[in-house]
Amino acid sequence: MRYISTRGQAPALTFEEAMLTGLARDGGLYVPETIPQMSPGDISALAGLSYEEVAYRVMRPFVGTSFGDTEFQDIIARAYSGFTHDARAPLVQLGPNHFLLELFHGPTLAFKDFAMQLIGQLFQAALARRGERVTIVGATSGDTGSAAIEAFRGLDNVDVFILFPHGRVSEVQRRQMTTPVESNVHALAMDGDFDDCQAKLKDMFNDFTFRDEVRLAGVNSINWARVLAQVVYYFTAAVSLGAPARPVSFTIPTGNFGDIFAGYIARRMGLPIEKLVIATNQNDILHRTMLTGEYRTSGVTPSISPSMDIQVSSNFERVLFDAYDRDGKAVSQLMDELKSGGFKISQGAMGFLNEQFYSGRVSEEQTSATIRAFHAQTGEILCPHSAVGVTVAQDHLGTTPMITLATAHPAKFPDAVEAATSIRPALPEAMADLFERPERVSRVANDLGALEEFIRKRTKT
């Protein structure tokens, strides 16, 4: 199994190389050269298996020879052992033909744990075998950073630096990043918004001297291994509702297009998914793109679902690559145009995107109203991101079961939830003392040279 860049100019890599590299050297993202297929028989055979066993069967073909069979099984077992629900990703029913896939039972209470816990174990195994050390730098709108710090804290062969927009993450998110005591993890509060953090990260990857000097590695949702880990729960959810005999639909609260891209891969592998619905908050570049055929950025407006406050949706490049028949030159050109504000998608490519995705946008008021209504009707307390998904999903209910992804635990966003329901959701037991733990954070400027110097001084390479 080989991985190729969406911009067509970087060398093809193995799974392990693509994982350790993150962003391709031509600025593109790695995607598998071919998509492994699961037959209806293969999918039926997943019924009744544990989450870990399904994970193994779904991901194994993508990993190729990078990890041995038993090694990979052990890695999966370790990755999910810290989850507090035995099903890992349980389904609850919200109403007729509407289900919620709870992805927040991992150690930092957001779906990011599914990918990050796995990637931590994969990095550890690969680096130990190679006798190498890497510097992981990540940008976060909140949940990626806490999940990364949790997954990599105390591991031998990595230093981790997480850039988050100062003052723009929730207090629980910040504390999850600033309270771990291990000296190999660093939380950096940067001046600016998430897109500024993401832009600085990209600049570091494009500074090849720095990149090679600190052996830079990335674990943002551009990392293929993360997308792959997220494909698994589309299978477990669909199979538990009767797939492959019965198709299902999914609605996904979306920011960087990572989680929904995993659903698209599940469909390409053969999982019968009828609708894949993009749900955005007021930062709605993806919804506007689906409506107008133009991908054009505007400023970020902070919302009560901050993990989706994004205007440049990195993983969208991966689906564009397919929409343009895997023409790396065409994608490169679009990404050049993006530097000056946006691009128009060709009619053929838009036809492809309209076949694959539906979309909807949710206002702040609607998000709160949904949290309030579903709490009253079902007792389920939704986090604001999940509420964005549930709101959009309601426009797509029908005879096919709809599964909305619940991407975070409500206690991660207690202010928004309390404003909507008058209930302040409590943190789970393991995190109950989060507000008493001392914080460790460095305030940094939105300045490439200063950031690189900061990181250089603190790496153990």
Binding residue (CB under 6 A) for ligand PLP from 176, 240, 307, 367: 307
DSSP H helices, 13-68, are 15-21, 40-44, 51-63
Q: Which residue carries 């943190």 as its tokens?
A: 427
* 211 contributes a contact to ligand PLP by CB under 6 A: no
Query: Contact with ligand PLP (CB under 6 A): which of 7, 88, 98, 112?
Result: 112
The binding track of 358-397 with respect to ligand PLP, each residue x by CB under 6 A or -, is ---------------------------x------------
Using CB under 6 A as the criterion, what x/- string covers residues 267-306 for binding ligand PLP?
----------------------------------------
E-strand stretches of 125-272: 134-139, 158-165, 185-190, 216-217, 248-253
Judged by CB under 6 A, the stretch of 69-77, 93-101, 203-211, 248-256 that binds ligand PLP is 248-256
Stretch that binds ligand PLP, among 19-27, 186-194, 204-212, 253-261 (CB under 6 A): 253-261
Minimum distance, C-beta of residue 68 to ligand PLP, in the bound complex (Å)? 29
- Answer yes or no whether residue 179 interacts with ligand PLP by CB under 6 A: no
C-alpha angle 345-346-349 in degrees, rounded to nearest 5:
90
Catalytic residue among 112, 200, 202, 412: 112
Smallest gap from Cβ 351 to ligand PLP, in A, equals 23
Distant-in-sequence, close-in-space partners of 305: CB < 8 Å, separation ≥ 6 = 253, 281, 367, 383, 384, 385, 387, 388, 413, 416
Is residue 253 close enough to count as binding ligand PLP by CB under 6 A?
Answer: yes
Q: Where are the alpha helices (DSSP H) in 167-215?
A: 171-178, 194-206, 208-213
Q: Which distant-in-sequence residues (6+ apart) come within 8 Å of 367 by Cβ? A: 281, 303, 304, 305, 384, 387, 388, 391, 416
Backbone torsions φ then ψ of 84, nearest 5 degrees: -95, -5
Helix/strand/coil percentages in the chain, nearest 5: 45, 15, 35
CA-wise closest residue to 7 among 336, 404, 238: 336
Q: Which stretch binds ligand PLP (CB under 6 A): 9-17, 21-29, 154-162, 256-264?
A: 256-264
**Site membership for ligand PLP, residue 257 (CB under 6 A):** yes
For residue 410, the minimal CB distance to ligand PLP (Å) is 11
Q: Which of 258, 263, 328, 360 binds ligand PLP (CB under 6 A)?
A: 258
Q: Which of 5, 66, 157, 221 binds ligand PLP (CB under 6 A)?
A: 221
> Looking at 254, 283, 367, 370, which residue binds ligand PLP (CB under 6 A)?
254
Using CB under 6 A as the binding criterion, the count of chain residues that bind ligand PLP stands at 16
Residue of 150, 193, 259, 317 interacting with ligand PLP (CB under 6 A): 259
Residue 173 touches ligand PLP, criterion: CB under 6 A: no
Instruction: Name the token pair of 162.
Output: 């997480």
112 is catalytic: yes
What CA–CA distances, in Å, run from 49 to 43, 55, 240? Answer: 11, 10, 10
Number of Cα atoms under 13 Å in the Cβ half of residue 418: 8
Instruction: Check the CA dihedral 5-199-383-317 and report its sign.
Output: negative
Residue closer to ligand PLP (CB basis): 21 or 256:
256
Residue 5 in contact with residue 29, Cβ under 8 Å? Answer: yes
Decide: is 407 part of the binding site for ligand PLP (CB under 6 A): yes
Stretch that binds ligand PLP, among 180-188, 251-259, 295-303, 428-436 (CB under 6 A): 251-259
- φ and ψ of 130, to 5 deg: -85, -10
End-to-end alpha-carbon separation of the chain, Å?
31
Choice between 356 and 407, CB closer to ligand PLP: 407
Query: Taking a C-beta distance cutoff of 8 angstroms, is the pair 222, 314 a contact?
Result: yes
Footprint of ligand PLP (CB under 6 A): 110, 112, 143, 221, 253-259, 307-308, 385, 407-408
Which active-site residues does the annotation give? 112
